Amino acid sequence: MSKMKLKKPNKEVWKLYSASLYNRLERRMCKKILLLIIVIILLPMFFFVYSASFKEKIESGTLSIYFMDEKVGYEEYTWQSDELGYILTVKGRMTKPVAMEIEHLTIRLDESFIPAKFVFKGSVNGVIQEVSSSIIEGYVENRILVAGQEQKSSVNVKRNAFLLPNPIFSPYMVLTKKFRCTLKEKVDLSAYIIPQLETPFTLEPKEDDFCFLIMQINGTQINIETDGNGNLKSLHIPFQNLRVIQDNI
């Protein structure tokens, strides 16, 4: 049997083959470069839009405090959203029924309104106090400085406990921001009267007004008015003759 001999392709065939291969490689390379350029252009735009959306979510206002129908103080607050959740900052003063100066108060919350950090600096009845608390999954570490004396403590509370330092009213805004006018029935909740103790409370809407919330805590009723945006419009503690009203709403 005779062997079949393979002919060597001529120069023209090799030239056409090489040109075709080069064109294919060139097209692939152009596609990759184009895709890379698109990614480089769009990525900074995405981060700019993402960060800018949070910078605009800042609210501020003033709460006026009345005791026995006499204005006795105020609290200026700022509520801010960011990529981690929410930040409430407060400053103000009150003369009755407790003399208090709030030089600075901060509560850091995650997106589910779970507290992560608490900072207070000011005075109560003339005594300078500082409180710094970190909270991780309900485990609280407190650093307390009173009249120059430092104390440290730790405690476990419910992970979703609301931080309600006494006697400061702006932190009740965390309740109104969380529930707004959506609560339909009574719920059992927990408050950490930071840095003293944790106590249970109930919250329920008024029968004919879902924006009117009734809080029962340690035998005391607190009436809270909010709106669809979660603003703390007013807070009333009848037993203590205390009323808090937000200005300009």
Residue 147's pLDDT is 86
Please choose, from the candidates 216, 214, 217, 198, the residue with its C-alpha nearest in 3D space to the C-alpha of residue 206: 214
Counting DSSP H helices and E strands in the chain, the numbers are: 2, 15
Q: How many CA atoms lie within 13 A of 86 on its CB side?
A: 18
pTM of the model: 0.78
Neighbours of 131 (CB within 10 A): 19
Under-70 pLDDT residues of the chain: 1-56, 249
Round to whole Å and give the CA distance between 62 and 51: 27
Round to whole Å and give the CA distance between 213 and 215: 6
Residue 248's pLDDT is 78
Residue 57's pLDDT is 82
| C-alpha angle 118-214-230 in degrees, rounded to nearest 5 | 55
Round to whole Å and give the CA distance between 88 and 91: 10
Task: Please name every residue paired with 22 in a beta bridge, in sequence order, or none if there are none.
Answer: none
Residue 102's pLDDT is 98
Residue 54's pLDDT is 46
